[in-house]
Structure 1
Amino acid sequence: MTFFVSRAWLLDETPATRRQAVWGRRYRLWLGLKTNPMAMGGLLIILAVLILSLAAPLIAPYDPGVQDLTNRLATPSSRHWLGTDELGRDIFTRILFGGRTTLGMVISVVVLVAPIGLLVGCLAGYAGGWMDKILMRVTDIFLAFPRLVLALAFVAALKPGVESAVLAIALTTWPPYARLARAETLQFRHSDFIAACRLSGAGPARIILRHVMPLCVPSLIVRITLDMSAIIITAASLGFLGMGAQPPSPEWGTMIATARRFLFSEWWVPLMPCIAIFVTSLAFNFLGDGLRDVLDPKER
């Protein structure tokens, strides 16, 4: 009975409080997302990868760094589900722990770049004038270079490693978010509710932080979800080129780099981390498409 009452409360067309309106909107968005089977499939895959990666120390059958040279390059079996690599390490275990590294890098990048891109874009779109020109020209400079090339340059200027890779990817990822936030801000900069905020005495900082930025968040969430696959591939590419996580760290790109010479003989060694990257990236794309259909009013 409680479930039906709460559901009716969430779907009430005339919410009595702001809290009820906010949760009702969220619940309707969830109902819209549930009708998209590809988006739900992507969400389930992402949750599974996250849970398996976080629980790797508990469910992994072996230590990711333990070598067994007598059992090197073993084929997939009941003992080693995905086989072993050139040093006899269990590939399934290393993929689980590698997910912690790769997804940790991706989450760190998003936490760094999303607020920066959102703030820069909203500030440029709301202020206009010389500030808009300066901020957007800086953004254009970063956009002029391919993401991977610029990330390689940043890592080379620092030192190879996970921290350097996260910082490099973050420095090359924020410009599209700034452009998107600016475009969204320009649409309602002269809206009536913004004018009402000014008349009520709200300053530019309060208007940007409390009113403009929240309106840009839905579009930014969609863009971030769609960009997750590109960030994963960039992080794996840096590892593959020796600029990201360093061996013997179990990172997916690094695993492919050390196993690429076995591609035509012991195919399972490089193929398994490739499948992990492919499945995770595809799941984020599916989820991003579903979120775009739900959050973008133009898609309804």
Structure 2
Amino acid sequence: MTGAPLVQQPSGARAWLLSPEPASRWQARLGRFYLGWRAFSKNPLAVLGLGVVLLLILVAIFADLIAPYSPIIGGNLRTERLLPPSAAHWFGTDDLARDIFSRVVYGSRTTLWVVMLVAIIATPIGLAMGTVAGYLGGWVDTVLMRITDIFLAFPRLILALAFVAALGPGIDNAIIAIAITSWPPYARIARAETLTIRNSDFIAAVKLQGASTPRIILGHVVPLCLSSLIVRVTLDMAGIILTAAGLGFLGLGAQPPMPEWGAMVATGRNYLIDQWWVAAMPGAAIFVVSLGFNLLGDGLRDVLDPKAAK
């Protein structure tokens, strides 16, 4: 007599995470995180992107320990200028006899600083504009969305160039300019999500309980918009890095002798034929980090997007 095949039940911590009846909100949240991580880890490219981003963070944190030379002070201009990659200088040296590997390592701090500050500044602005416009509607929606359309009408790099030209060159002004040009897509996404939420039954129930409009937006609408916004912000990181590198390439971003990948590429273009490594190494860093953020964003979209096919 053959019996039905036995299904192995999860045990221990896994069983606690996958419990169909969680005992607390904390357990339910950890369970959702675990399921999301399982789905995310099945995508090898997304895991590769996460690894690249984590490597960028670690390199930026431990740059002092990783870099073998000073990123600013060069060596002997007679004997160490424009040296090719070797055991002593892994990425070669530039026109001022500075170690390119050390400058790329320290440049990761600038890149991470730009990415973090732009996300911190632009995301709340876009989220606030989109949720308020979508929830209130009417003339508020019209005014806020027309302002958004004005910003979207110009290419991001061109608009950032205009703001940096007005504010003056420098990494701080470049961050402000990039943040000012980055929020409109987030506002569009937040508005679209809010339009699908504002007429829901649970919003009507909260209104009947006497909740004010700010409380409804902050406590109920904003949390439901965050997942889509996180995906978009992650995917936009590559564009932010390229915009920052473009400003640095044009001399409007980080100023010498500060190590910044775009400025390093601009320096290396003068030696592109014979000393290709001067421009190629920071260019490869820009490519790898941008690709990592794109892969990570694609993986997060598959996990966090409720409308994606499972």
- TM-score normalized with structure 2 length: 0.95
Q: Does 1:92 align with 2:101?
A: yes
How many Å apart are 1:19 and its aligned residue?
1.6
How many Å apart are 1:5 and its aligned residue?
2.2
Gaps of 5+ in 2: 1-9
How many Å apart are 1:4 and its aligned residue?
4.8
**Deviation digits for residues 231-288 of structure 1 (CA, Å, limit 9, x no counterpart):** 0000000000011001111000010111111111100110000000000000111111
- 1: distance between equivalents of 2:182 and 2:72? 32
Question: 2:29 maps to what in 1?
Answer: 22
Question: 2:138 maps to what in 1?
Answer: 129
Mapping 1:57-136, distance limit 5 Å: 57-68=64-75, 69=77, 70-136=79-145
Q: How many residues are matched?
A: 298
Higher helix share: 1
- 1: distance between equivalents of 2:274 and 2:160? 32
Contact 2:56 2:112 in 1 (8 A): no
Of 199, 205, 228, the residue aligned with 2:208 is 199
- 1: distance between equivalents of 2:231 and 2:113? 20
Contact 1:240 1:253 in 2 (8 A): yes
Q: Does 1:290 align with 2:281?
A: no
How many Å apart are 1:58 and its aligned residue?
1.5
Q: Does 1:56 align with 2:63?
A: yes
Question: 1:141 maps to what in 2?
Answer: 150
Question: 1:39 maps to what in 2?
Answer: 46
Query: Which 4+ residue blocks in structure 1 deviate beyond 3 angstroms?
Result: none
Question: 2:217 maps to what in 1?
Answer: 208
Code of the aligned partner of 1:293: D
Local SS of the residue matching 2:86? coil
Local SS of the residue matching 1:120? helix
Local SS of the residue matching 1:71? coil
Contact 1:122 1:182 in 2 (8 A): yes
Q: Does 1:9 align with 2:12?
A: no
- 1: distance between equivalents of 2:144 and 2:184? 10
Q: Tell me which moved more, 65-74 or 238-247.
A: 65-74
RMSD: 1.0
Q: 1:91 to 1:4 in 2, by over 3 A?
A: farther
- 1: distance between equivalents of 2:145 and 2:20? 41
Q: 1:4 to 1:91 in 2, by over 3 A?
A: farther
Mapping 1:166-185, distance limit 5 Å: 166-185=175-194
Question: 2:254 maps to what in 1?
Answer: 245
Contact 1:72 1:87 in 2 (8 A): yes
Contact 2:92 2:99 in 1 (8 A): yes
Contact 2:66 2:105 in 1 (8 A): no
How many Å apart are 1:16 and its aligned residue?
2.1
Code of the aligned partner of 2:221: V
- 2: distance between equivalents of 1:6 and 1:114? 35
Contact 1:143 1:175 in 2 (8 A): yes
Gaps of 5+ in 1: none
Contact 1:147 1:173 in 2 (8 A): yes
Question: 2:263 maps to what in 1?
Answer: 254
- 1: distance between equivalents of 2:214 and 2:250? 43
**Deviation digits for residues 110-164 of structure 1 (CA, Å, limit 9, x no counterpart):** 0101111111100100000111111001000100111000000000001100010
Of 124, 146, 165, the residue aligned with 2:174 is 165
- 2: distance between equivalents of 1:76 and 1:50? 25
- Work out which of the two has the higher radius of gyration on C-alpha atoms and give 1 or 2: 2
- 1: distance between equivalents of 2:209 and 2:169? 52
Code of the aligned partner of 2:92: G
Code of the aligned partner of 1:74: L
Q: Does 1:150 align with 2:159?
A: yes
Local SS of the residue matching 2:275? coil
- TM-score normalized with structure 1 length: 0.98
How many Å apart are 1:30 and its aligned residue?
0.9
How many Å apart are 1:6 and its aligned residue?
2.1
